[in-house]
Amino acid sequence: MSDDADTDRAVVKTFVPTYQKDEWKRHADDLDMSQSEFVRTMVQAGRRGFGLESGAGESANRAEGPSDAPDPRGDGLETRLLDLLNSDEYLSWDRLVEELAGDFEDRLEETLQELQNENRVQYSGRRGGYTVTNDGE
């Protein structure tokens, strides 16, 4: 795949009821995002939530292992960073960390919850942390 293919943009059109568009606009404004950035982010988040494939040979949670994808570092950070930087002229270091860390924190919380539901991990308030259980083996 050429470098140009990684940065090419395409228009996607959809039709939603006016009230929904207004709601999305308000939410995007609250998050200081453009409408395009908001919709793109929500679609990608939904795809991860459904465990859908995110691209050729890549799992939705690419941190699980290496892939043959154009981003060999594995977690799509480069793509997510470029998406953020395309939304505004300049973003501070703190804002970039906040935007990117939030995604990781959500994924971490979801994964911990799944592991607890499977009884593979447990939390101990008394000991102040998580540990692997013997029951989940």
Per-residue pLDDT of the chain (137 residues; tens, 9 = 90+): 455 556 677 888 888 888 888 888 888 888 888 888 888 888 887 776 655 444 434 443 444 333 344 444 445 778 888 888 887 678 888 888 888 777 777 888 888 898 899 998 998 888 888 899 876 44
Task: Kindly state the tokens that stand for 27.
Answer: 């939410």
pLDDT at residue number 69: 43
Given this model, what pLDDT does residue 2 score?
54
Integer CA distances (angstroms), 5 to 43, 46, 88, 104, 117, in order: 21, 24, 21, 26, 41
Provide the residue ranges of all domains of the chain, joining segments of one domain with +. 10-132
29-35, long-range: CB within 8 Å, 24+ apart, which pairs?
33/87, 34/87
Q: What is the pLDDT of residue 73?
A: 41
